[in-house]
Amino acid sequence: MGLLDGKVALITGGARGQGRAHALTSAREGADVVLVDIADQLETVPYAMATADDLAETVPQVEALDRRALAVTADVRDQGQLDEAVSRGIAEFGKIDILIANAGIWTQGPFWELSEQSWDEMIGVNLTGVWKSAKAVAPHMIERQSGSIVITSSVNGLEPGANYAHYVAAKHGVIGLMKNIALELAPHGVRCNSINPGAIKTPMTDHQGAWDMFAGHEGGTEADLIEGGYHFHALKGMTFMPPQVIADTALYLNSDLAAAVTGVTIPVDAGHMLLTG
Ligand code: NAD
């Protein structure tokens, strides 16, 4: 018996990284999944974003767990595309019980040098995209008087970070948004919580630009990233963590184990906030 038997989960950013871990964990625990991803490159993002192949590859991985998967190409900045993804999910699987609003981008620059386009893409995806994702599922969850929404924030939703003003603003913003969604949906039996990941090893963080950032110079290597991860976290032996640590926390929040938990944010940061908070 799984913790999510018979449930249906819609996961934004489901093509790879944490989104794929959410999909496989939800499926392993008995849920069918709707995978939503832009599967395209945004102009201000310097690392390679997910591709159509990444999105397609997640489907057989879910099916190998004996659950169904529907992949939908959609941009979380586009309400029409999200509404369509929700409609297709309901048509295919009959309902949506869970939303994991995970899609996000990570770019950098001193706040006075950020271009308007960079600011707009960041806020559009990482903040407004979460609102639009929740807006797309809310009427259905209200009608069913049940549901769970998990939002991916960051430790940068709890603290500043040099060169991340737009990311910090968005990730703080989604915590406020989470509390309001939790408040407004509580009378309808729908819960909403968020997670603050520490450093997670995904294609967002594991690339030359991130290696250089942790090295403090060009020509950085993966070893610099790993070393930086140890310094970032307080817990012994914890460098960049696998996406599974976040998927496990979302699983708890989406399951009946957390039936009385709503309106909270959970750092999953190997003690990072102890060092800085
Ligand atoms: P990732 O780049 O591997 O995955 C992000 C996914 O979101 C990609 O598949 C991408 O295509 C998708 N996406 C981006 N913009 C989109 C849009 N407009 N519409 C639909 N899909 C879109 O990175 P990840 O580490 O798996 O990131 C998942 C979440 O975790 C993000 O919200 C990120 O900010 C957050 N986070 C990551 C870390 C980390 O260390 N990796 C730390 C804290 C928070």
Q: Is 204 in the pocket of ligand 1 (CB under 6 A)?
A: yes
Q: Is 37 in the pocket of ligand 1 (CB under 6 A)?
A: yes
CA of 19 to the centre of ligand 1 (A): 7
DSSP code string of 152-175 = E--GGGTS--TT-HHHHHHHHHHH
CATH topology of domain 8-198+243-270: Rossmann fold (3.40.50)
ipTM over 0.90: yes
Asked if 44 and 267 count as a contact pair (C-beta separation under 8 A), the reply is no
Type of residue numbered 46: P
Determine how β-strand 265-268 pairs with β-strand 190-197: parallel
Question: What residues are labeled active site?
Answer: 167
Confidence of residue 160 (pLDDT cuts 50, 70, 90): very high
With a cut of 80, say whether residue 151 has pLDDT above it: yes
CA of 49 to the centre of ligand 1 (A): 9
* Residues of the chain above pLDDT 70, percent: 100
Q: Which residues of 47-77 are buried (b: 16+ CB within 10 A; e: fewer)?
A: bebbeeebbeebbeebeebebebbbbebbbb
Please name the helix (run of DSSP H) or strand (run of DSSP E) that holds residue 251, with its range, or none.
helix 244-254
For 196-221, how does the pLDDT look when each residue is reduced to its tens digit (9 = 90+)? Answer: 999 999 999 999 999 999 999 999 99
User: What is the spatial distance between Cα 94 and Cα 135, in angstroms, rounded to a whole number?
Assistant: 19
Q: Is 20 in the pocket of ligand 1 (CB under 6 A)?
A: no
For 229-256, how does the pLDDT look when each residue is reduced to its tens digit (9 = 90+)? Answer: 999 999 999 999 999 999 999 999 999 9
Give the pair of three-digit tokens for residue 181.
């969604």
With a cut of 90, say whether residue 277 has pLDDT above it: no
Indicate yes or no: pTM above 0.95. Answer: yes
Hey, where are the domains in the chain? 8-198+243-270
CA of 128 to the centre of ligand 1 (A): 14
